[in-house]
Amino acid sequence: MTDLDTLIEGFLTNEFETSPVLASSLGLTEYDERLDDLSADAFKKRDADAVEWLARFEAVPDDGLSADARIDRDLAIAMLRGRVIVADWQGWKRDPLVYSGPALSGIFGLFLHRIRPESELVDAAIARLEQIPRALEQGAANLDADLASELIVGRGLASARAGGRYVRDLVPMEAPEGPQRDRLRAAGEKAGAGFDAWITFLEAFKSRAHGEWRFGEERYTRLLRERESLTYDARTLRARGEAEYDRLDAEMRALAFRARGTEDWRSVLDEANRDHAPTEEGMRAAYADWTERARTFLAETGLVTLPNGESCIVEPSPVFQRPVIGVASYNGSPAFTDLLLGHFFVPFAPDGTPPEEVQKRLEANSYDGIPTVAVHETYPGHHWHITWSKIHASHIRLVLGTPYFSEGWALYAEQVMRERGFFTDPVQELYHLEATLFRAARIIVDTSLHIGDMDFEQGVTFMTTKTPLPEPTARAEVGRYCWWPTQASAYLTGCLEILRIRDRFLASKGQAGIEPAKVDVAILREFHDRLAATGRLPLGLAERALMDVEPGATAGGAPPAG
């Protein structure tokens, strides 16, 4: 074991001790009974730890390190620099989801993957349920009305209301009727009481919260450069988003004219939106159908290598996530297990949603729009990428990563499937382009919000006039950008970087200038397999990993025992 290996092992052990919920989600079952310590002292220690670990990784010289080892070291440096950059923002004083999020996901993940016997799962869930009041009390002690924004607190309040129902009514149903369910119900009542107190606190706190949600141009730019290994600043990124929006708008107008005789692509999509499943279950079934079609297309074309034994279940979104996530999402199997089963969650409405609003939500999941989303979330998007990388990537790459790669990859997946003929109807292609244009709009709004050139209402107006989003959805979207700076820009930024890296790779293989649909599929498959095997690296590191590591080489190995 090298000095770097020892350093990485110590760092990961500290990560797992600091965040048992993270460790448990990775399949390390010895952490299943614990929730994170969310006290002020614990957050201050994490910030101090980031500074200390960063210095230790930066002190590791290149001498004696393989190309893969240097990338592992530099991944740790990039992610730790990101933590140091945001430390003074003190998100733990601003965001209620910092407290309810681990509490809910820590229970949900246990039963989602079921990698332990039922009796042990119930014991672990009860242990975590009993710790939920403590975690929420720590949140009430930490949140600062001078820093927290009413907008961000409102998101946390919606999640808290759904969380109370989840722990009381739904968690007990994970066990069969009898003593185990009774035990879960009793623990759920205690956790529910904790949520009741948390909701009461947040309702009063929300009216007092008058802090700032703007992240600031300097922090935003530093994250792009130091955490994401990109070369541009926030304003340059915005200009890139604006240029892509204009390019995509022109392409969509031309495609709409060819398909329907009008350049008004919005009217074409408005009409297509009316063709949707009449029920949420019908929508889920349509997503399942297109997920299987996408997998079959990959098997027949050979665009990627499909791992033996992988599969993906299509199911309704978790109840506690529905108030804050109104779109499809994905959850992969724990990284440090042999499981290759993914969960594709389709967007069901929160409890109590009026029937007319449910129908509007179904319009946003029309039959011709579903293929793009299915590709993004499953094949060869998130499910294939996460499943493939867990087989090949090193331990630290399974723990640390960036949405600029993972979301960029999923958007790239949509594009390559279009290039190779998966979308057979021009309207399906329009939906793909609209999804990409939507990501360009996200870049414009996200950067503008956080550098101070756009307020919340201006962001909502931009999204309702420049994309087909209805106002309620636009408000939820812009609220998400305020809550999670830089993430909304990850999708298209990452996709464009992957396309640039692909051009470089194809040129090295004698495929420069060849139309994407005609590139040798074996070479394209090599690009996909090798790039996805690197994990979720910052794109600059991913490019190094692809171009510097010999074909077939991997940084993997046996995962830690769990």
Other residues' Cβ atoms within 10 Å of the Cβ of residue 351: 12
Q: Within this chain, do residues 171 and 266 fall inside the same structural domain, yes or no?
A: no
* pTM (predicted TM-score): 0.92
With respect to residue 366, please indicate whether it lies within any of the assigned structural domains. yes
With respect to residue 562, please indicate whether it lies within any of the assigned structural domains. no
Q: Within this chain, do residues 263 and 318 fall inside the same structural domain, yes or no?
A: yes
Q: Is 346 helix (H, G, I), strand (E, B) or coil?
A: strand
Q: Which residue's entry shows tokens 């139309």?
A: 515
Q: Which long-range contacts (CB under 8 A, 24 or more apart) does 460-463 make?
A: none
Domain count, the chain: 2
With respect to residue 20, please indicate whether it lies within any of the assigned structural domains. yes
With respect to residue 226, please indicate whether it lies within any of the assigned structural domains. no
Please state, in angstroms and as integers, the Cα–Cα distance from residue 190 to each residue in 94, 127, 129, 130, 138, following that order.
26, 11, 8, 7, 16
Per-residue pLDDT at 316:
93
Q: Where in the sequence is the domain holding 152, given as residue range(s)?
A: 3-208
Q: Within this chain, do residues 244 and 376 fall inside the same structural domain, yes or no?
A: yes
Residues 153 and 213 sit within 8 Å (Cβ to Cβ): no
Q: What is the mean pLDDT of each run of 10 residues along the chain (562 residues)?
A: 93 98 97 98 98 98 95 98 97 96 94 93 98 98 97 92 93 95 97 98 97 96 96 96 98 95 95 94 97 98 97 91 80 94 93 88 92 97 97 96 97 98 96 96 98 96 91 85 94 98 96 93 97 97 83 35 30
Q: Within this chain, do residues 169 and 301 fall inside the same structural domain, yes or no?
A: no
Q: Within this chain, do residues 509 and 365 fall inside the same structural domain, yes or no?
A: yes
Q: Which residue's entry shows tokens 């409405």?
A: 349
Q: Within this chain, do residues 162 and 248 fall inside the same structural domain, yes or no?
A: no
Going across the sheet that includes 329-331, the strands are: 311-316, 341-346, 329-331
Instruction: Kindly report the backbone phi and psi dihedral angles of residue 315, in degrees, each rounded to the nearest multiple of 5, phi listed first.
Output: -145, 165
3 state SS for 33-69: CCCCCCCHHHHHHHHHHHHHHHHHHHCCCCCCCCHHH
Per-residue pLDDT at 324:
67
With respect to residue 367, please indicate whether it lies within any of the assigned structural domains. yes
Per-residue pLDDT at 2:
84
With respect to residue 217, please indicate whether it lies within any of the assigned structural domains. no
With residue 235 as reference, give the H or E element that holds it.
Answer: helix 234-260
Other residues' Cβ atoms within 10 Å of the Cβ of residue 522: 9
Q: Within this chain, do residues 198 and 255 fall inside the same structural domain, yes or no?
A: no
Q: Within this chain, do residues 384 and 442 fall inside the same structural domain, yes or no?
A: yes
Per-residue pLDDT at 555:
35
3 state SS for 459-493: HHHHHHHHCCCCHHHHHHHHHHHHHCCCCCCHHHH
Q: What is the distance between the alpha carbons of residues 263 and 251, in angstroms, rounded to a whole number?
A: 10
Per-residue pLDDT at 364:
86
Q: CB under 8 Å to 500, separation ≥6 — which residues?
A: none
Residue 324 per-residue DSSP state: T
| Helix, strand, coil tally for the chain in percent (to 5) | 70, 5, 30
Q: Within this chain, do residues 39 and 81 fall inside the same structural domain, yes or no?
A: yes
Residue 455 in tokens: 């307020």
